[in-house]
Amino acid sequence: MATVKEMRTRIGSVKSTQKITKALQMVAAAKLRRAQLAADAARPYAQQMSAIISNLAAGVSGRDAPLLLAGTGGDRRQLVIVATADRGLAGAFNSAIVRAARQKITALIAEGKDVKIITVGRKGRDQLRRQFGDRFLESHELGLKSPTLASVKPIAQQVLDLYMAGQFDVVTLIHCHFKSVVTQTPVAKQLIPAQVETGNGPTALYDYEPDEESILEALLPQNVSVQILSALLENQAGFFASQMAAMDNATRNAGDMINALTIQMNRTRQAKITTELIEIIAGAAAV
């Protein structure tokens, strides 16, 4: 049985943990708002871009379509980009992405594909390295600043260079889709060959300046950067939402624990006093 003093120290330590989780929760909430705004602000550009690409792709078919749109024709050599966060303390956020990545990679390997991996974010690298370390091409870290187009350019450029050098047939990006503050689901998105929404039928007929091919050639690489950027921005919003929820839980748990410990401590103290009283009374009665 723990003594009253031990219990008091224990309560003190749980209290300071609670302070930390509470502070982290509030920081995450503040950052979440900013990250959400950033993710929302980036959406119009990405949407417009895919709309233009869809339009163009309908016109440029088959024979002279650029490599980034048409693909190499095969699908044996796969590149998987896994985007997670740099930090933990965010519930199942990183694990969920890593689990999705692991499933995807294992499935691809089982199909006999040749899989290589690029990770973005420290947590993804740490968790995947054990199992797939020999398949890593490169690991990027996010750093402290929120992602911008300039900061994702090097990653996109590396992917494009590898693709253009004929190293890969298909490039897939796995990240977390930010549905709402409470639900984020990991998704896999095919980056190259570019996926085109079809079935909308030919929308407006456009004039192209200079011409379809050169516009596509400029658009498609840009699209890769933009897709990675929007994935990272969504990831960031998802991370903070997840961290906020996790820290909220932790704070509540700490509160419950403090209550339970306090009751236990009071009982012990009371029991000790009662025992002492009985001893004194018994002693007095004996005289």
Partner 1 sequence: MAEKISFDLVSPEKLLLSGRADMVTVPGTEGYMGVMAGHAATVTTLRAGMIDVSSDGKDDRYFIRGGFAEINATKITVLADEAIPMSDLDLAVLDQRIADAAEDEIAAKSDSERQRAAQYLEDLKLVRAAF
Residues interacting with partner 1, by CB under 8 A? 38, 41-42, 44-46, 48-49, 51-52, 55-56, 148-149, 204-210, 214-215, 218-219, 222, 225-226, 229
Asked whether the beta carbons of 156 and 224 are under 8 A apart, the reply is yes
The token pair at 286 is 């004996």
Asked whether the beta carbons of 269 and 4 are under 8 A apart, the reply is yes
The 8-class DSSP code of residue 87 comes to -
- CA 54 and chain centroid, separation: 28
Closer of 40 and 276 to partner 1 (Cβ)? 40
At its nearest, how many Å lie between partner 1 and the CB of residue 187? 20
Closer of 46 and 181 to partner 1 (Cβ)? 46
Residue with tokens 């309560």: 11
Closer of 226 and 244 to partner 1 (Cβ)? 226
Q: Is 81 helix (H, G, I), strand (E, B) or coil?
A: strand
Closer of 86 and 212 to partner 1 (Cβ)? 212
At its nearest, how many Å lie between partner 1 and the CB of residue 74? 26
**Integer Cα distance of 165 and 156 in angstroms:** 14
**Integer Cα distance of 86 and 144 in angstroms:** 9
What order of strands is seen across the sheet that includes strand 114-120? 136-140, 114-120, 77-83, 170-178, 184-192
- Show Cβ contacts of residue 103 under 8 Å, excluding neighbours closer than 6 positions: none
At its nearest, how many Å lie between partner 1 and the CB of residue 151? 11
Closer of 93 and 240 to partner 1 (Cβ)? 240
Closer of 65 and 265 to partner 1 (Cβ)? 65
At its nearest, how many Å lie between partner 1 and the CB of residue 210? 6
At its nearest, how many Å lie between partner 1 and the CB of residue 222? 7
At its nearest, how many Å lie between partner 1 and the CB of residue 155? 14
**Integer Cα distance of 7 and 197 in angstroms:** 63
Closer of 134 and 207 to partner 1 (Cβ)? 207
Closer of 51 and 277 to partner 1 (Cβ)? 51
At its nearest, how many Å lie between partner 1 and the CB of residue 253? 38
Q: Which helix (H) or strand (E) is 176 found in, with range? A: strand 170-178
- CA 251 and chain centroid, separation: 22
**Integer Cα distance of 73 and 94 in angstroms:** 33
At its nearest, how many Å lie between partner 1 and the CB of residue 41? 4
Asked whether the beta carbons of 242 and 92 are under 8 A apart, the reply is yes
